[in-house]
Structure formats: structure tokens, C-alpha cells
Chain A
């Protein structure tokens, strides 16, 4: 292994090779969803000639690529610094170099994926002349978002962030907690907050707003930001809730509680969060006009981001050896 690269990358590569397609889907699946969302927004211009679809697609690409790259880089840095390989002698610059290489590889895959999707989507479109603008806008946004994420994450460096961003709620509704699994809701909420904070911060909202072109009106921009933020929040909630739920079911596996009941209980928080996310979606839809299209898009996006909930109900039939 070259001293230029972090030793953990070798183990990560072996793990990816052993788990094959599952690992590939998990790695690619997260950015694939927002990238497909970008293309869906761009299709508004390709097919409807709305005039704001490309701007929205670029904004989503900017915010999404930043959030995903930032979270992944922080996770990787933390794992390399405090995980099994934390005590290994690593050459100066190898951590930054390797993490940048991995991020660049992910960016290239994302660029290829979104370019292929945009080319395919625009082939039979009446406004296919917008394709160069779409390619330039979305691809540039991906590069800028990922670059900002890399600079910020490497600057922040590795530290344990389990408590970052966790605040006690302003008010609690005791009846939301199921007495069969009290505090599972808190667990899911805190997991969500930690991941949301890792995905970036409200600095990105400013960056997104600064990148808005002159064309669309202010209400339209607010509507776009609300819709994108609501979707991003919901996607984080679903993934965090599913992971916390699976961990809880595993944790209380030796107790008399039926795993099915535990899984049903763990749906409470994501359902409440989804109901709350509907508020900015409705406001955004009202502000942006074209209610039917915006609402339809928002519902499709929310439904797509709900797929991690399937994992809650997928019982682990052949668990691995105890840790």
C-alpha cells in the first residue's frame, strides 16, 4: 500500500467488493435520488418550457451534492480517525489525499449519471435546445457543491460529533411516545438531527439563494427553497428513522417485545415528521403557482424519499455473529 493513501481505503475496497451489488446500490443510491430529481425539474423546461426548471435543477444539484459530500466526508474522517485504523501510522496528507480522491471519484460518477439522464430525457423534448444550459448548470452546480463540502469538511477535520446539533425539543407531547418503547422517538429525532447537521448547515441556504438567476420571481425562489428543504429534511428523517428503528429492534431482541410491534412503533416519528414537512410543501406550492404540477412533483419526491421505511419491515432473518 502506497504511503500516499490512507490504509483504510484498502479495507473499504475489499468490503465493497465482497458485498458487491448491495454496496454499489447503497453508495450510488443516495446521490441518485436527488440527481433524478434534478433531471425531473429540468424536464419542466424541456417539455413545458416553464423557464425556471433549469434554475431549480441547478439549485437542487448544488444543495444536494454539498449535503451528501459533506456528510460522507465527515463520516469517513471520523471513522478513519477514531475507528479500527485510528492508531495506525498514516503518512502526512494521506487522509486528505485519499478522501479527496474518493470524493472526486464520486463526483465523476455523479456527473456521468446526471449527464446520461439529461441526454436521455431531452432526446424527444420539444425544447431540447435547453440541453447545453441544463448540462452546464447542473454539472457546474455538482462540482461547486462538492468542492465547498470538501473544503469545509477537511477544514473542520475529524472529531466525535455524537452530540452535535442535538437540542431538546421546545415542547414535548408525551402521548407520542409508545410506552412499549419509550424514548425510541427521541432516539430517531436525535439521529435525524445529527445527520441533518452533518449534511451541512443553513449557510447552504444562503449559497443557494445567492446562486439564483434574475429570471424567477421572489415567491418562486422561496417556493423552490421550501420544497427542496422539505424534501431534503424528509429524506434524512426517513433514513435516520429506519436505521434507529433497526438498531432498537436489534437492541431489545432478547426482551419479550414482539419485533413486529417494535417496527410498527418506530413508524410514529417518520409519520409525524412527514406531516410536518407537508406544511412547507403546501406553502411552497401556494407561493410558486402551478399548484398541480408542484404538488405532484413534491408528492412523488416525498414518496421516493420514503423508501428507507421499507427497511424497517424487512426482518433480518440471518443476522451475523454477535459483536
Chain B
């Protein structure tokens, strides 16, 4: 399979605090990789480092064959980062915000596929309202749409199911799985929902203290699903250290 993302020796620090320390990660086309780890492990920072919105101290990021540092425009053309709800512009309407992102991606208008997903997520009725009046769930849905606009081949999602009602969460999960299956899109999902990771991901990567501690491939995940006594939760607890498993 073609490699879509490759990070080599990735290091990020905020002041004296080293958040990522030599992260090597590869994602192939059509892969669904779940990124798990305890709070402060560096999951969000890793997504932002890949998206070019966190400063790299060491290492390099290559997306679709383009070095993020040398050819950021081409590299960023291949990624879509879902926007955190608190970062949305409250003075714009949802539709205006989508148009802003469409313009930034070089699109003439909001793509019909994005509006269709908005309809699936029940966001259409509020798209012409100011974001200031949105609930957390509505903002989360809009943040997801902003990441998916233009159908980039690599989606970077940070806890996208937070705040979503069960119906919308199911609809979005189905959309993601269909996009991966039919469109060859890759997903890097940072999450604490181990059931989603275990059930849907083709690979799970455990990040701890800014380093990749362990990863589980499709075969191991499949074995976990088949054996009731095994679970990703237990495997993660063991990998994190014996004391947390007790």
C-alpha cells in the first residue's frame, strides 16, 4: 500500500516541556489508525504537528510525498484537520465559516458533499445561525465538516465524537467507514473511546510521554475482537504499566 503519511523523529516542545520526542509513524492509504494514550501523552500535539500548526523542534513530516517544511501548500492539500469547537469564530454563521474554509482550500463554493454530510448530521437547519448560538454538539459537527471539506485523503480527527448525540455519532462513524472503504481515505483518530478504536480501526497506536510505546496491527485487533477475555483496554493497561491494570 502507498504511504500517505510518514513522520520521522518528530519532536515538539513548548518552552522547556518536551511534548513529542522522536515519534516515527507511517500511515498507508485507506488505513484507519487510532491514536490512544493517557492525558498529556501528546496526541493532540501530534495531530497539530502533522497539520503544520505546532512548531517542530526535530524531525520531519511527509504527506503524500511532500515535505511539510519544504512544500507546505502541497502537503496541506492532502490533509484535513477537524477544528476544535472552542476555536470556531462565534461571530460568523456556520455557512460563512464553511465558505471561509472552502476559499482557503481553493474551492469556489462549499462542496455539495460537505453540505450532504451536514444534512446527515442534522446541522443544515442551524447553518445560517451565528456559531455563538451553537451547542457543543453543533460546534463539534461544524468542526468535523471543516476538517472534511474538499475530501482530503488524510483526515486528522481529535476526539470527534465528544458532544455528539448517539444518532449523529453513528451517522459520522458510518460515513468515516464508508469514506475509508470506498474513497481510499486515511484517518488518524486521537481518542479515548477504546471501543471505537478496537472495533473500527485497522491499527491502534499507543502514545505515552511523547513516544510511540506500542502498536496493535489489524491481526492483533481482530484476535481481540474474537476473544472475549481480551480487550484493547486490558492490552493498553498492560502496555502502560502493570499498576494501572490492577
Contact = CB atoms under 8 A, between A and B. Distances in A.
Given A179-B108, A255-B76, A256-B77, A320 B14 contact: yes
B76 to A, nearest CB: 4
B90 A162 contact: yes
B81 interface: yes
Contact of A253 (B51, B77, B156): B51
Contacts of A321: 14, 19, 44-45, 54
Interface string A148-192: 000000000000101100100000000000111111101100110
Contacts of B96: 182-183, 186-187
Contacts of A191: 91
B104 A256 contact: yes
Contacts of B100: 181-184, 187, 248, 251-252
A40 B130 CA distance: 42
Contacts of A251: 83, 87-89, 100
B86 A255 contact: no
Nearest 3 Cβ contacts at the A-B interface:
A254-B51, A162-B132, A254-B81
A254 B54 contact: no
B89 A319 contact: no
B89 A253 contact: no
B53 A319 contact: yes
A16 interface: no
Contacts of A182: 96, 99-100, 102-103
Nearest to B14: A321
Contacts of B91: 162, 166, 186-187, 190-191, 194
Contacts of A186: 91-92, 96
Interface string B100-124: 1111111010000000000000000
Contacts of A20: none
Nearest to B130: A163
Interface string A281-323: 0000000000000000000000000000000000001111111
14 contacts: A181-B100, A182-B100, A183-B97, A247-B89, A252-B101, A253-B51, A254-B53, A254-B79, A256-B106, A318-B55, A319-B53, A322-B44, A322-B53, A323-B87
B209 interface: no
B76 A183 contact: no
A258 B104 CA distance: 9
A17 interface: no
Interface string B140-168: 00000000000000001000000000000
A76 B132 CA distance: 19
Contacts of B89: 187, 244, 247-248, 251
A207 interface: no
A180 B108 CA distance: 9
A301 to B, nearest CB: 28
